[in-house]
Chain A
């Protein structure tokens, strides 16, 4: 059974009990940041998944927001508070919308893909900002979730939501990792390297991009639901380009080598921000900017290269690129 899991997957599965355990040991404020980082981290890993295909989404906030607003509106208008149902609805909304948008987006690459995803997310931002029923830019609040009819209170509610965040978040990460390792996932990497050749080999690049886009969107929407429930509030800022830009930033800084890296990177950056604000509330952006700059200069492969500097993936890529450059030069 265990044989079918690779190291990353085993780590992710082991992380579930470890994270849940940490929830009881660590100070509450850190647990809060772990919880919100898992929500935003899911969006970061979906940005990373697209990056593997050479696609940079500057509008992933769109699905983050769709997830959050779906959960919020389901509670506000339909009175649904069941976490599992909210997760399902959020994922479904993300899936449906991305499936439709995918027909347009799958035809674009590089900067055009980035700009189009950005444009679509900003349309939603504009729409939500002028919708008074949904609180406009102020957004609206969400009620605490229930779990199959069980509605815990106080401390219990906190732990329940934390556990209910950890499990789907890590399972989603596992799913995306599986996808990236699957033949379809490798087609994505092939598209990044040489799309024309992929088409000659008989695979549809459009189809592969479409699937990647839909998967990433669904996972982002789940992230949105989890994040919104942790915060208890949604507002259109979720789909603003600054939010989407942050996800791209996180993916680049943490590195695209492994699915765990953006998840972990989100949390690390969050903690760095917290301390930067604490040390210098007026110029904290300057500190974060410097850290980002240093990371990019000294760790061009992202934070992940600290943990796994000579992983098999990197080694093979290295070998391959050396071979490639030899081939092209000869």
Chain B
């Protein structure tokens, strides 16, 4: 004990010095970033803060693919190598200088304000978790800072939290679309859905997904039976008892919004026990696993990608370019978070080029209500005063070709944006409850 204390004290003087040193280092860091010279010769620069999960459970399946896509797109936009109509350099001539921030932080709001006030970013693009979006949206409006939410799914953002947005945009469709389209796919393919079951994670995303899906099914097919609703914990990893229930209840259709590792675990455990043979399984985010699971994903599983992304993306020069560029750089095909990031940046580019200047208000005015092409097809900023995007979506069935060793999606069914998204001014839940009043599915 004595010795221990003495050692502690003998470091006293040195550590005091080291504290000063580190403080000095810290302050010099602060200085160096603030005195960094503005780029010379009139070449303009747009500072964009990118906030995605760079650590934690959501980093692997979402955050990192999104960051990769951001890096790829920034380089391509700055060099002007994106195919037409995006083959001009930069955003209205200004090149993008990114700052990446980890969304896995307890002080999301303070981090956001730091991006705005200290780093003086021109635009913030980010947020995967709906919880983050809920917290950030009102703060962004208050800070009057142009902010693009690129991924988070909850429809509440513009329906409840910021009902009259001026500065916050969302360039991806919200989660209602995924589940309405899942229900419509079952109908369109005449899949027997007289009894349905759900296995979803017991947190906001899982609960909302199941609510939207089961309500949509009840609206589309009155009199169907919900045989069981399973809500295991997120990151549980073991679904033995839930699978037993699903096997004994024998539903025709099983809906799951599991994502990432949980989804893959469910596929592996469920297919081994014959769940996928007994019932038709629909995985709303299944696309992220299609490249990885190969033969382990049973053929005939209905796969969604939270929009027409990845394997469900429509063919075209933009998509071909994006897939190839991404594969060449990162060695794997882009999944939907990558597509959603690309979508956000191309929306931004369209708006900036149209405005012809990099002024925040000008870009926002140009983005409001605009329409633009992306690797996932056309996106329209149609809802919430032109701040919320809608786009077509698609579902398909998984098929693994043993001879080529490649997986693909067959029986792809596309749905028009207006068929799976509520019309202007109607909230998602009201729209489903009204039996999709005003839906245009022709």
Contacts and interface: CB of A to CB of B under 8 A. Distances in A.
Given A135-B134, A141-B135, A281-B100, A325 B110 contact: no
A138 B5 contact: no
Interface stretch (A86-94, A107-115, A217-225, A229-237): A229-237
B427 to A, nearest CB: 16
Given A29-B117, A135-B204, A233 B16 contact: no
Interface string A104-148: 000000000000000000000010011010011111110000000
Interface in B376-430: none
Contacts of A243: 106
Interface size class of A (residues with CB under 8 A): 35 or more
Contact of A300 (B8, B18, B55): B8
Interface string B1-35: 11011011101101110110000001001000100
Interface in A126-177: 126, 129-130, 132, 135-141
A279 B129 CA distance: 24
A79 interface: no
B130 A279 contact: no
Interface stretch (A5-13, A47-55, A65-73, A269-277): A269-277
B22 to A, nearest CB: 9
B261 to A, nearest CB: 17
B35 to A, nearest CB: 15
Contacts of A285: 55
Nearest to A272: B26
A283 to B, nearest CB: 9
Contact of A132 (B100, B130, B207): B207
Nearest to B51: A281
A147 to B, nearest CB: 18
Q: By DSSP majority rule, is chain B's interface helix, strand, loop, or mixed?
A: helix
Interface residues of B, number: 53
Interface in A270-318: 270-271, 273-275, 277-279, 281-282, 284-285, 298-301, 305-306, 309, 318
Interface string A207-249: 0000000000000000000000011110101000001001000
Contacts of A305: 8, 12, 15
A33 B116 CA distance: 14
B110 A29 contact: yes
A284 B102 contact: yes
A108 B111 CA distance: 39
A322 interface: yes
Given A141-B161, A232-B135, A300-B8, A274 B114 contact: yes
B100 A233 contact: no
Interface of A: 27-29, 32-33, 35-36, 40, 126, 129-130, 132, 135-141, 230-233, 235, 237, 243, 246, 270-271, 273-275, 277-279, 281-282, 284-285, 298-301, 305-306, 309, 318, 321-322, 325
The 8 A-B residue pairs with the shortest CB-CB distance, nearest first, are A233-B135, A137-B203, A136-B204, A138-B204, A281-B100, A29-B117, A138-B131, A29-B114
Interface of B: 1-2, 4-5, 7-9, 11-12, 14-16, 18-19, 26, 29, 33, 54-55, 99-102, 105-111, 113-114, 116-119, 129-131, 134-135, 138-139, 154, 161, 202-205, 207, 231, 233-234
